[in-house]
A = this chain, B = another copy of it.
Amino acid sequence: MTALNPAADLVDLTRALVDTPSESGDEADLADAVESALRACPHLRVQRIGSSVVARTDSGRAERVIIGGHLDTVPTAGNLPSRLDGELLYGLGACDMKGGLAVALRLAATLTAPVRDVTYVFYECEEVSGDRNGLNRIAAECPDLLKADLAILMEPSGASVEAGCQGVLNADITVRGERAHTARSWMGVNAAHRAAAVLQRLDDHTAERILIDGLEYREGLNAVAVRAGIADNVVPDTCVITVNLRFAPSRSAEQAETYLRGLFREYEIEVTEVVPGALPGLGQGPVASLVEALGATPRPKLGWTDVARFAALGTPALNYGPGDPALAHTAGEYVSIGQLRECEARLQAWLSG
């Protein structure tokens, strides 16, 4: 088993994490190493749930903070082992998110008496379909572990605070026609031709920009798939357009659905998935204090992240971690040593009072 030493240098620890492969579904080795390192700390209570590991301080503080990150990475892209080039550490997951994990592990091992109690959550299967996500299993088996006054997800955010997240709605819009042989196409009605109106409406649509706590959530509405076709000699009687709506966290799932249906009132719509976003909650006590301590101007998170899972449990959450989010899932991903050290120092200071 890989041995991790969280008390060692932060860069060495990040390299050791990168060099322990943990593609989604195959995180057990890394979880073993993390569990073992944390069990060596007398100030932590450790629980293992699948390939997720939860460690808590329990000093009776007035506030409790979750610091979380996923153990898994996307599949390798020929970018192992890790490689240090000056200020930049390259390798699979360096950015998303073994840099953030290293910071969290260091804090867990070294902060023996933080001024806020901390629950460290290292979880499995974030990079795959949501039903496999380790947070789901923890929420189902030990929901109390995910309750806190604030959760910090150490996803790459360029060491600035990305607050809240947008919701996602996927739906199929079905345009119907009437089938016919193409040699006598006037006997039918071409559903693909009629779909022009739906696609044009999407093209004409101006997505809204919604201001919440001073942050601009820019929505988006896109056709992400179009499917029509029976055979080369048949006028298609069906054309299905899959649309993806990214909606501001001020809309509920129900409101997002009503909004979409209002835009395409005359069409058949089937909503196949809808997950609400998370409000930034910048006005709430612990969030305001943290944002001030981190010294970064919060930005709105436009994608969907696991902060929404915490929001759904009633725990305000934000993204804060080292690494440029645009590098996530790229073969050339890296994390800068400066951001690693900055994230550790700022969180350490805030948790030390």
The stretch from A110-118, A132-140, A228-236 touching chain B is A228-236
Give A225 to B228 CA distance when docked, in angstroms.
Answer: 5
Does A181 reach chain B (CB closer than 8 Å)? yes
- Write the nearest CB–CB distance from A214 to chain B, whole angstroms: 20
- A194-224 at interface with B (beta carbon < 8 Å): 194-200, 202-203, 207, 218, 220-224
CB atoms of B224 and A231 under 8 A apart:
yes
Known contacts A166-B183, A183-B246, A236 near B220 by CB under 8 Å = no
- Write the nearest CB–CB distance from A351 to chain B, whole angstroms: 31
Does A242 reach chain B (CB closer than 8 Å)? yes
Q: What DSSP secondary structure best describes chain A's contact surface? A: mixed
A224 partner residues in chain B, CB cutoff 8 A: 182, 192, 229-236
CB atoms of B202 and A193 under 8 A apart:
yes
Q: A194-B203, A223-B228 are in contact. List 15 more A-B contacts (CB 8 A).
A: A182-B222, A186-B207, A186-B218, A192-B202, A192-B222, A192-B223, A193-B199, A195-B199, A200-B200, A224-B232, A224-B236, A225-B229, A226-B227, A226-B229, A232-B244
- Write the nearest CB–CB distance from A346 to chain B, whole angstroms: 26
- Write the nearest CB–CB distance from A239 to chain B, whole angstroms: 6
CB atoms of B227 and A227 under 8 A apart:
yes
Does A184 reach chain B (CB closer than 8 Å)? yes
A199 partner residues in chain B, CB cutoff 8 A: 192-193, 195-196, 199
- A135-152 at interface with B (beta carbon < 8 Å): none
Does A311 reach chain B (CB closer than 8 Å)? no
> Which residue of chain B lies nearest to A166 when distances are taken between CB atoms in the complex?
B183
**Which of the residues B182, B202, B226 comes within 8 Å of A226, measured between beta carbons?**
B226
A207 partner residues in chain B, CB cutoff 8 A: 185-186
Does A119 reach chain B (CB closer than 8 Å)? no
Does A315 reach chain B (CB closer than 8 Å)? no
